[in-house]
Amino acid sequence: MHLFTTRRNFTFLLLFFCFCLQAAGQVVTTSPTFPTANEEVTLTFDVSEASDARAAGLLGKTSDIYLWAGAGTTETGNAFEYVPTGQTNWEQPFEPGRMTYLGDDRWQITMVPREYFNVPDDVTIRRLGLLLKNGNGTAQTEDLYVTIYPAELTAAFIAPTQELLFTQASTAIPVQAAASAQANLTLKLDNTIVATATNEEQLSYTLNTGTQAGKRRRVVLEAATATETASDTFYFIVEPAPVVAALPAGVQDGITYINAEEVVLTLFAPEKEFVYVIGEFNNWLPSEDYLMNRTPDGDQYWLHLTDLPAGEEVAFQYLVDGEIAVADPYAEKILDPIHDPYLTDANYPDLKPHPTRAEGIVSVLQTNQQEYNWQVENFERPDVERLVIYEMLVRDFVATRNYKTLADTLSYLKSLNINAIELMPVMEFSGNDSWGYNPTFFFAPDKAYGTEEDLKAFIDECHKAGIAVILDIVLNQADYENPYVRLYWDEAQNRPAANNPFFNQEATHPFSVFFDFNHESEATQEFVERVTRYWLEEYKIDGYRFDLSKGFTQNNTGNNVDAWSAYDASRVAIWKDIYDHIRGVNQSAYVILEHFAVNQEEKELAAYGMLFWGNLNHDYREAAKGNNANLEWISYQERGWEVPHVVGYIESHDEERLMYDLLQNGRSAGSYNIRNLTTALNRAKLAAAFSLTVPGPKMMWQFGELGYDVSIEENGRTGAKPIRWEYQDDPERQKLFNVYAELIKLKTTVPAFATDDFTLDLDDMVKRITLDGEDMTVFLIGNFDVQPLAPVANFPSAGTWYDYFTGEEVNVTNTAETIALQPGEFRLLTTEPLPAPPANLLPWQQVVLDAEEQLADARSLVVYPNPIEAATVIELNNSYRGAVSLQVVDVTGRILRTVKAQKGQQTLQQELNLQNLAGGLYYLQVEQGGQKSTRKLVKLRQ
């Protein structure tokens, strides 16, 4: 017999004549049978009847079992609206919920619901949500529910427990009915009285279903006393035989709109016996008119709906085999009874309420939808080699967590000069607070971030600003609420069933978190094609970043990561098919893979047209901290690729933040300490320079341009992180932003930065990049050490060079001459002058060549006294004649004193007054004839 529940959850009520006796198969029972909010109720649990596999850890225990529970105000909504005081830590025992052991895996607790859950007197309690767990939360039952009744006459069917059940023909249905007080009881079948009991609290009867297939029959219990009446109803249907009919032309799985009042609903459901459409149009009860036709191959079910209200949202589900109701897998909008109540108008204004008679997630259809009026119809996407992607999570970028506010930040992003935004997953995911890698409905934007129109308007605004929008898409897995996970589910094994047309029973690789798609399945392949086509056409997105693309394989490698990463011909074929489909829809759409497979496989797919995440987070963090690290794998040429398809990045959503690591673990030498904020920000500039200038597309993580210094692990790895827009008020952080903006501007506008003729020297403490463009040569050199160095510069050529960040002309007569580099200092030089950026973005001023000679000449510099109380004398003794500049700077590079002098003889003596400076460490910078010397100054505390 197939069972289906649409309204009541009476699993706790399957009792026979003695209310204190538990029926077979029930986890929880109550005494009294009809518990109320203000009276004592005893809950008895039989853990041996629990269906959740995790409950096995509770069997055989005699202690350490606790109730975890909540109270809800509706029959079908959130049953945990109110929780007892102190019930907050899942991993610890909750003493008020300690259960009493009865023996044989049975446990008991007594409470007054209103008192236990602290529910105000004016709030109605309609049901309790319950589960049992051990003290540390490693074992538990499934969620269980108990109905709470009003303090009045109540009538209910104890058996069957379902509001609707499907049966075979001529089946006997044992009926057990009860009332909360002695009453006259009447049992009716389709308005015909079939049994009565006078002045009783219970009634028993056996119904025969008859042979009429597909007709819904109504069974009513009526209870009456001298002053009160009460009733309850259930329905049964003899299993129907669907009409076999071919799918109408032009109809596809999901919702096909015909006109203002008509749609065709289609569900792909092979191996299922029958399907009904239930919804607001039939009060969520199946009937003959809503039995779906079955296609001749038995794989699809379809129904033509008419007389729909034009332009209005209508909620519906599919009731499959009388056992499970699911939303449409292709729905563009769903309503979630558990999580939607927490959405506000800032998230999704005027959201349609979840229908009171529906259980679980429902899908929404709407005829005559107004199409979005796109302002940009034919957006020209940035070339791959100039692509700079800004990865963001809406939740952690704007406090309102919505697209409207996000659109208001585009001026900020435009000033950063990025030309693409990568949105972390925005398709419907479980809950409202998530990274989004737990998708459930692949055609519906998650309402937590705004309406469908809001998302389209955001994309439109991005295109107006010249910014492409790339969706991070999760087609390697789905969470439990996905209809195809639920429709083909193995309850005994707690995993997808063996006949699931979309999902593997077990993942074929070691990094699956939810339920793994089988990408060799024809059903999955067609689904992927539908999903990827939809977002390109409906939302005009510019491409995809595919999560865990290496998982698109059926070569089961178990937990062997090396085997999983090895060349996989079937995976290569799968990805070529997906790429061909996407490019068939839109020939310029980006296809970016989070692959991290063997280079041979990535090289082949890159040559085919795909782009790949290039994770250099560890190496760049190490280098920026002052440790030796080789950064060359950020280059596509170093990988032996012919095309610039490595999307190299220092940070992504999945990696530790650079600035946090610098401040926690940066090296130091003498007074130079990377754990100092300003120093760390300068090191971040160094890392950015040696990332963004490498030819090929690049990516950055949100707020990296301002030095975001909150660990990825704060509030849990995927938990919400603080939003730091106040960083813009810090001048030093704003300098980092401006350096990023300047580097990105060069990358996206100057042809030399997209050249394929370049040389990298990135495996030592002094690193170099040379870009040979048609119009100019670019040379980048930087000191990743924590001490000053004077390396051989190795300029690509002699002649005049231009230091980009200072505008200084540098005359190079010998390409092998040395260059003075302070720790963290880098120089970006070009053979042609470029428009000057804002001044003082970097703490280093003049380029110093012939550094060895300069260092030797600096020995003629004497400072006395040092340490200093109030003043000191600077003495220069050398052959130089001309202007001399003396500057005192603090450890962050901030200039505190400047003195100009004219040296007209062998020795210059100049007094420097430091009376008003606080005690501490400072630096004296002496510039003479284009050469610079530095000395430490120690000011004594007064």
Distance CA 517, CA 531 (A): 14
Distance CA 165, CA 283 (A): 16
The pLDDT assigned to 855 comes to 46
Task: Provide CATH 2.60.40.10 ranges for the chain.
Answer: 155-238, 254-367
The pLDDT assigned to 11 comes to 28
List, as one string, the DSSP characters of 765-805.
SEEEEEEE-SS-EEEEEEE-SSS-B--B---SSSEEEEETT
Residue range 304-321: mean pLDDT, rounded: 97
Residue range 811-825: mean pLDDT, rounded: 93
pLDDT band at residue 879 under the 50/70/90 scheme:
confident
Give 482-507 pLDDT, tens digit per residue.
999 999 999 989 999 999 999 999 99
Q: What would the two tokens of residue 346 be?
A: 């800032």
Give the predicted TM-score (pTM) of the model: 0.82
Q: What would the two tokens of residue 44 be?
A: 């008895």
SS (H, E, C) 280-323: CCCCCCCCHHHECEECCCCCEEEEEECCCCCCCEEEEEEEECCC
Report whether pLDDT(18) > 60: no
Which one-letter amino acid corresponds to residue 254?
A: G
Residue range 62-75: mean pLDDT, rounded: 95
**Fold classified for 254-367:** Immunoglobulin-like (2.60.40)
Report whether pLDDT(512) > 90: no
Instruction: Indicate the CATH number for domain 28-147.
Output: 2.60.40
What percent of the chain is predicted at pLDDT more than 70?
96
The pLDDT assigned to 25 comes to 55
Report whether pLDDT(853) > 90: no
Give 592-630 pLDDT, tens digit per residue.
999 999 999 999 999 999 999 999 999 999 999 999 999
Class (C level, CATH) for 861-939: mainly beta
Instruction: Indicate the CATH number for domain 384-740.
Output: 3.20.20.80
Superfamily of domain 749-849: Golgi alpha-mannosidase II (2.60.40.1180)
Distance CA 390, CA 652 (A): 9
Kindly provide the residue ranges of all beta strands, DSSP E only, lying in 483-632, ordered along the sequence: 489-490, 495-496, 515-516, 543-546, 590-593, 611-615
The pLDDT assigned to 852 comes to 55
Residue range 507-526: mean pLDDT, rounded: 95
Report whether pLDDT(12) > 60: no
List, as one string, the DSSP characters of 823-837.
TT-EEEEESS-----
What percent of the chain is predicted at pLDDT more than 90?
84
* Stronger pLDDT, 291 or 884, i.e. the higher one: 291
Cα–Cα distances (Å) from 179 to 30, 154, 201, 612, in that order, read: 15, 5, 5, 66
- Residues recorded for the chain: 942
Q: Is the bond leading into 865 cis (omega within 30 degrees of zero)? A: yes
Task: Provide CATH 2.60.40.1180 ranges for the chain.
Answer: 749-849
Q: Which of the 8 DSSP states describes residue 849?
A: B
Distance CA 70, CA 778 (A): 65
Q: Which residues contact 57 (CB under 8 A, 6 or more apart)?
A: 134, 138, 139, 140
Cα–Cα distances (Å) from 90 to 87, 135, 144, 685, in that order, read: 8, 8, 17, 43
Q: Which residues contact 350 (CB under 8 A, 6 or more apart)?
A: none
* Strands across the sheet containing 758-761: 758-761, 766-772, 777-783, 826-830, 799-803, 809-812
pLDDT band at residue 34 under the 50/70/90 scheme:
very high
Local structure of 214: helix, strand or coil:
coil
Distance CA 277, CA 285 (A): 9
Distance CA 214, CA 312 (A): 30
The pLDDT assigned to 858 comes to 45
Cα–Cα distances (Å) from 221 to 4, 178, 230, in that order, read: 19, 9, 8
Report whether pLDDT(856) > 70: no
Name all contacts of 214-220 with Cβ < 8 Å and 24+ positions apart.
Answer: 214/238, 214/239, 214/240, 214/241, 214/288, 214/291, 215/288, 216/285, 216/286, 216/287, 216/288, 217/189, 217/190, 218/188, 218/189, 218/190, 218/191, 219/157, 219/175, 219/187, 219/188, 219/189, 220/187, 220/188
Give 775-817 pLDDT, tens digit per residue.
999 999 999 999 999 999 999 999 999 999 999 999 999 998 8
Distance CA 275, CA 304 (A): 13
Residue range 879-883: mean pLDDT, rounded: 83
Report whether pLDDT(7) > 90: no
- Number of neighbouring beta carbons within 10 Å of residue 340: 21
Q: Which of the 8 DSSP states describes residue 160?
A: S
Report whether pLDDT(265) > 70: yes
Closest to 538 (Cα-Cα) out of 467, 464, 452, 616? 452
pLDDT band at residue 19 under the 50/70/90 scheme:
very low
Mark residue 799 as left, alpha or beta (left: phi above 0; alpha: psi -120 to 50; beta: remaining): left
Instruction: Indicate the CATH number for domain 155-238.
Output: 2.60.40.10
For the chain, what is the mean pLDDT?
A: 93
The pLDDT assigned to 876 comes to 87
Q: Which of the 8 DSSP states describes residue 248?
A: P
- Phi/psi of residue 736, each to 5°? -60, -45
β-pair partners for 368: none
Contact yes or no for 163/10 (Cβ under 8 A): no
Q: Which residues contact 837 (CB under 8 A, 6 or more apart)?
A: 738, 742, 804, 805
Among 659-673, 692-706, 746-760, 851-865, the least confident range: 851-865
Give 133-172 pLDDT, tens digit per residue.
999 999 999 999 999 999 999 999 999 988 999 999 999 9
The pLDDT assigned to 104 comes to 95
Task: Provide CATH 3.20.20.80 ranges for the chain.
Answer: 384-740
pLDDT band at residue 6 under the 50/70/90 scheme:
very low
The pLDDT assigned to 242 comes to 97
Residue range 450-460: mean pLDDT, rounded: 98
Q: What would the two tokens of residue 431 be?
A: 């809950």
Report whether pLDDT(829) > 60: yes
Q: Which residues contact 123 (CB under 8 A, 6 or more apart)?
A: 73, 82
Distance CA 146, CA 132 (A): 14
pLDDT band at residue 942 under the 50/70/90 scheme:
low
Report whether pLDDT(927) > 90: no
Closest to 563 (Cα-Cα) out of 613, 508, 484, 495? 508
Report whether pLDDT(330) > 70: yes
Local structure of 420: helix, strand or coil:
strand
* Strands across the sheet containing 300-305: 254-259, 262-268, 300-305, 293-294
